[in-house]
Amino acid sequence: MKYVTIKKAAKLLHVTPLTLRNWDRRGILKPYRHPANNYRIYRLDQIEGFLRQLELSKAKQAKRKIDIF
């Protein structure tokens, strides 16, 4: 299992590390903690799954049509 730092995870998700910290507080994307220094770390498969979820939700929104009269 491969883990990445908060900085690398933020880069993969195209957000800032502060955004990831906020998501952690809100329960959107929970990190693991490094046992030696308690830093936030993320599993790479967790990041990839989150990206797939985002892409699926974007695809669903793109399919929606809004009729304007």
Cβ partners under 8 Å of residue 40, min gap 6: 5, 6, 20, 21, 24, 31, 32, 33, 34
Q: What is the pLDDT along the chain (69 residues), one digit of tens a residue?
A: 899 999 999 999 999 999 999 999 999 999 999 999 999 999 999 999 999 998 888 877 777 666 676
C-alpha 24 chain-centroid distance: 10
Listed as own residue / partner, the contacts of 53-58 with beta carbons closer than 8 Å and 24 or more positions apart are: none
pLDDT in the model for residue 54:
87
pLDDT in the model for residue 67:
65
* CA–CA separation, 14 and 58 (whole Å): 15
Domain ranges of the chain: 3-63
Q: What is the pTM of this model?
A: 0.78
pLDDT in the model for residue 39:
96
pLDDT in the model for residue 63:
74
Tell me the CATH number for domain 3-63. 1.10.1660.10
Residue where the block lists tokens 């809100």:
26
